[in-house]
Amino acid sequence: MKTRLLTFLGLILVFVPAAFAQQVDETTIVYQKIAKMDALYNILPLFLTKAQIDQLLPVLEKARANVRDAKKHEDEFFKNLEPDVDEANRLGFEKQQIPSDKMRQKFINAMISFAAERETVSSNNTDLALATFDKVCNVGQIKAAANTVNIKFYVPTAKVEDLSLADKERYFVRFVLLDPVVYEVLLELDKTAPAN
């Protein structure tokens, strides 16, 4: 499944009342199964061998580490911000005191900064994974990858008809290959993929 859907699911888990937690957990399991099915839809047409998967996995692990590091930075910021947010909320509820513009602006600036950082990490991870994908895959696999990705899902304004094969391959790497679910799928496929 796509990263946007997984992000949406994460938001659901944060904001859904506890009364619905069990139902959400059951639904999340179904979404995870759908995500794996979608990953298989995009990965199986490549007919990757075990040797190819074994070369891709370390790069994907490095990309995942880069994402974890960026998330850790964000998490630390929000954890440090929590006491100030708690105090602003307390004053708002108890004394109807409007939270300060300074406090709100700190949050907004952080969100803008984190979005830029996530974009940089994503772009760097795409470059890293694309280099390996190009070395590992043959021309037929690259064409298959470029043709399986639904670019409009990720970039609704994209003019797909104007994109080169290299552009489409880059979208595949960024939005499909680097999807965390695809990593899990590749680990499973690595057990049964043909050696060469």
Q: Which of 75, 158, 154, 66 is nearest to 118 (CA)?
A: 66
Burial of 171 from C-beta contacts in 10 A (0-12 / 13-18 / 19+): buried
pLDDT surpassing 70 at residue 85: yes
Instruction: State mean pLDDT over 90-100.
Output: 95
Instruction: State mean pLDDT over 116-123.
Output: 96
Residue 175: CB atoms within 10 Å: 22
Of 24 and 196, the structure prediction assigns the larger pLDDT to 196
Cα–Cα distance between 42 and 50 in angstroms, integer?
17
Q: Are 135 and 128 in contact (CB under 8 A)?
A: no
pLDDT surpassing 60 at residue 177: yes
Q: Are 27 and 89 in contact (CB under 8 A)?
A: no
The pair of structure tokens assigned to 14 is 């944060």
Cα–Cα distance between 185 and 144 in angstroms, integer?
18
Cα–Cα distance between 102 and 19 in angstroms, integer?
35
Single pTM value for the model: 0.79
If you write DSSP's letter for every residue of 95-143 in order, what string do you get?
Answer: H-PPPPHHHHHHHHHHHHHHHHHHHHHHHHHHHHHHHHHHHHS-HHHHH
pLDDT surpassing 80 at residue 24: no
pLDDT surpassing 60 at residue 21: no
| Band of pLDDT at residue 58, cut at 50, 70 and 90 | very high
End-to-end CA distance of the chain: 28
Instruction: Determine the pLDDT at residue 28.
Output: 87
Instruction: State mean pLDDT over 109-127.
Output: 95
Q: Are 123 and 98 in contact (CB under 8 A)?
A: no
| Residue whose entry in the numeric block shows the structure tokens 């470059």 | 127
| Band of pLDDT at residue 7, cut at 50, 70 and 90 | very low
| Band of pLDDT at residue 12, cut at 50, 70 and 90 | very low
pLDDT surpassing 60 at residue 16: no
- Give the CA-trace dihedral at 68, 71, 72, 75, to 10 degrees: -150
Instruction: Determine the pLDDT at residue 103.
Output: 87
Share of the chain above pLDDT 70, in %: 88
Mean of all residue pLDDT scores within the chain:
88
Domain segments of the chain: what residues? 3-64+100-192
